[in-house]
Amino acid sequence: MPRRKLAPSASSHLRRAIAGAAARLMAEEGIGDYGAAKRKAARSLGAADGEALPTNEEVETELRAWQSLYQEDEQRERVRDLRMTALEVMQLLAEFHPYLTGGALDGTAGRYSAVELDLYADSSKDVEIALLSHGISYDTLDNRRIGVEAQLRLDWNDFPVQISIYPPVAERQQPRNPHTGRGRHRVRTEAVIELLQEAPK
């Protein structure tokens, strides 16, 4: 028996409900992947696979609203702590032209979010050697992102840091968000310093 299509109003309502549920999952459970959060939210609401799924931008809007309502002080402090952590790691690894990206940059980072850094090196081994020379241990992640040579994860003052390592030529290219295909925002160390100076203490 073919599945009945939802009426436009019902579909729109379900779409908003999924966006809100996905935002809550990202904020409360630390799910960092928009797609995973949307699919889990859809299942929890009894929606069929692919039915009425919101865009990442719609989920991000709901996430900002949810954090503002329920986690405002905690979330503001978390973003600042992650940016401070990012600055320290970026300064340590300055030779690899680090960029900050992700939730710590756009302000959506929650209690489980990691600092996300993009580095550019002739070989990922160069970055690993640099970390080891400073006595910093790390884990190698299962990397499935196109164009990324390797991904590493480490803890810096109890904050998680995820490093994506690209070949040097990629620095001149506009990085793409793996979920939307759009340009991915990233900033250098100087911009992180400015963000920290602008943010309320």
- pLDDT tens per residue across span 85-129: 999 999 999 999 999 998 899 888 877 789 999 999 999 999 999
Chain-centre distance for alpha carbon 126: 24
- Report the relative pairing of strands 139-140 and 115-120 from DSSP bridges: unpaired
Inter-CA distances, 38 with 48, 54, 84, 112, 201, Å: 12, 8, 30, 18, 33
* Nearest residue to 116 (alpha-carbon basis) of 148, 152, 149: 152
Diameter over CA atoms, the chain = 63
What tokens appear for 43 in the block? 């299942």
**What CATH fold (topology level) applies to the domain 73-198?**
Beta Polymerase; domain 2 (3.30.460)
**Backbone angles phi and psi of 49, in degrees to 5:** -55, 130
**Identity of the amino acid at 132:** L
Whole-angstrom Cα distance, residue 125 to residue 18? 41
Is residue 192 within 8 Å of residue 169, measured between CB atoms?
no
Q: Render pLDDT for 173-197 as a digit per residue (tens, 0 to 9).
A: 766 555 445 556 899 999 999 999 9
- Structural domain boundaries in the chain: 8-70, 73-198
CA 114 to chain centre: 7
Write the pLDDT tens digit of every residue in 5-15. Answer: 545 566 788 88
Condensed to tens digits (0 to 9), the pLDDT of residues 5-58 reads 545 566 788 888 888 888 787 777 767 677 788 888 888 887 776 667 888 888
